[in-house]
């Protein structure tokens, strides 16, 4: 059994905070970098609570990145990716990232 078959022993919220820390460490070289945990973001079809939201400026352009963290035993399925993509389109984000402790389906 590989280490990717069982989620690590932290709560889903602890996992989200750890992912936020990884992003924060990567964002130090960006201009106007900011991130938030469990932010409500408004889209054209309603509001979404996003695990981690990152905002920064690069190349004189403002970026909005949505991050969803999956802390579950099953691998992330295609429908999970499609849901996140729909959120990206609704809120007008430039990027979306999906973190998983159990990997992804092919």
pLDDT in tens, 84-104: 999 999 999 999 999 999 999
Strands 31-43 and 95-100: unpaired
CA nearest to 91, candidates 61, 58, 49, 59 = 49
Tokens of 102: 């159990």
Sheet of strand 31-43, all strands in order from the earlier edge strand to the far edge: 31-43, 46-58, 61-70, 95-100
Q: Identify the pLDDT of residue 8.
A: 65
Measured distance CA(53)–CA(36) in Å, rounded = 5
The pTM of the full predicted model, rounded to 2 decimals, is 0.82
pLDDT exceeds cutoff 50 at 1? no
């Amino acid at each position: 059994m590989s280490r990717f078959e069982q989620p690590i022993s932290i709560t889903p919220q602890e996992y989200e905070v750890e992912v936020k820390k990884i992003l924060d460490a990567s964002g130090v070289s960006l201009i106007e970098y900011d991130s938030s945990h469990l932010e409500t973001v408004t889209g054209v079809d309603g509001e979404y609570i996003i695990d981690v939201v990152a905002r920064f400026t690069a190349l004189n352009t403002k970026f909005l990145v949505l991050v969803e963290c999956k802390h579950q035993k099953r691998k992330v399925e295609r429908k999970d990716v499609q849901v996140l993509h729909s959120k990206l389109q609704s809120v007008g984000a430039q990027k979306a990232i999906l973190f998983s402790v159990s990997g992804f389906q092919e």
